[in-house]
Chains A and B, each alone.
Chain A
């Protein structure tokens, strides 16, 4: 009896490299590699839907360009959000920085006053 029978019911959660997907679409894979990709597709609705959609793109070269555009846009949005968050945090804590600065200033003034008093020439009373 064929032991592969039991493999039919096994599901794979294996991740697949984007390059392998592109090679599959471009027909660059060997028969065995092609079968491996298709087995993952049969196991995985996400991948199957994705491949069906990618096959509809007129020029497969466009896929990589579009993906790069989307990624660039995502990175830009995320960087913007991170910067905004940092700025907000800075604003939120600005009074602490201000208070610290004020305290430092007071300490410096106090030190200066004490220093001046201690080093003032003694007044000679007639």
Chain B
């Protein structure tokens, strides 16, 4: 099962091959592409290398079992949800607490790049964007500008602003999300 042999085959093609002959061989190739990312996700939540390794193996088994039952449209987002849910369940078992409930947001977020009416003419959009950018909090505006417009790396932004790496990531992600919301509101108002 050489994964390299299929490096030019897309995820969807591998899935289609699996759906046509139901051979786990194709899933093996597909899943190996995501081992590192899934291991990272499990590490983030479980904070332990052995636990993360075991979890990835369990997640793989779950994915294989589920794919035999139904078709999945957005494979990458779906496996991310499965891994995240698995880790949250594990944390709940470990701590006896209820983890934050996961919604289908990841699916919508990643596969829906056109959720904004970007058909509006460019100048109007640019106008709206610069107004929306001004409406962000000072920290978010600074980090978003440095990251997207000045193309600075996280480390450079950290050095320049004095914020921690975590804060920089959070300001960028939240800033981007708020920009989307502001743009949607502005486009709806027009």
Q: Does A63 contact B (CB under 8 A)?
A: yes
The minimal Cβ–Cβ distance linking B36 to chain A, given in whole angstroms, is: 5
Residue in contact with B118 in the complex, picked from A9, A12, A57, A81, CB distance below 8 Å: A9
User: What's the A-B contact tally at a CB cutoff of 8 Å?
Assistant: 157
Contact pattern, A 66-81, Cβ under 8 Å of B = 1, otherwise 0: 1101110111011101
Nearest residue, chain B, Cβ from A7: B148
Contact pattern, A 4-16, Cβ under 8 Å of B = 1, otherwise 0: 1111111111010
Inter-chain contact A73/B149, CB cutoff 8 Å: no
Inter-chain contact B36/A54, CB cutoff 8 Å: yes
Inter-chain contact B28/A5, CB cutoff 8 Å: no
Q: Does B49 contact A (CB under 8 A)?
A: yes
Taking CB atoms and an 8 Å cut-off, the chain B residues in 19-54 that contact chain A are 23-25, 27-28, 31-33, 35-45, 47, 49, 52-53
Q: Which residues of B contact A34 (CB under 8 A)?
A: 153, 155
Given contacts A9-B118, A67-B36, contact A57 B49 (CB under 8 A): yes
Residue in contact with A21 in the complex, picked from B36, B60, B176, CB distance below 8 Å: B36
Given contacts A74-B31, A82-B25, contact A31 B109 (CB under 8 A): no
Interface size of B as a range: 35 or more
| CA gap between A69 and B125 in the complex, in Å | 49
Inter-chain contact B80/A46, CB cutoff 8 Å: yes
Q: Which residues of B contact A50 (CB under 8 A)?
A: 36-41, 44
Q: Which residues of B contact A75 (CB under 8 A)?
A: 1, 28, 32
Inter-chain contact B113/A38, CB cutoff 8 Å: no
Q: Which residues of B contact A42 (CB under 8 A)?
A: 147, 169, 172-173, 176
Inter-chain contact B43/A38, CB cutoff 8 Å: no
Given contacts A38-B153, A46-B106, contact A8 B144 (CB under 8 A): yes
Inter-chain contact B47/A56, CB cutoff 8 Å: yes
| CA gap between A47 and B76 in the complex, in Å | 10
| CA gap between A46 and B133 in the complex, in Å | 25
A: which residues have CB within 8 A of B? 1-13, 15, 18, 21, 31-32, 34-35, 38-39, 41-42, 44-54, 56-58, 62-63, 66-67, 69-71, 73-75, 77-79, 81-82
What would be 20 A-B contacts, judged by CB atoms less than 8 Å apart?
A5-B133, A6-B118, A6-B125, A7-B148, A9-B179, A11-B113, A13-B76, A13-B111, A31-B153, A38-B153, A42-B173, A42-B176, A49-B40, A53-B42, A54-B40, A57-B43, A70-B35, A71-B35, A74-B32, A78-B64
Known: A9-B129, A78-B25; 13 extra A-B contacts, CB below 8 A, are A1-B130, A4-B149, A9-B176, A12-B113, A32-B151, A35-B151, A49-B80, A49-B84, A50-B41, A53-B44, A71-B35, A78-B1, A78-B28
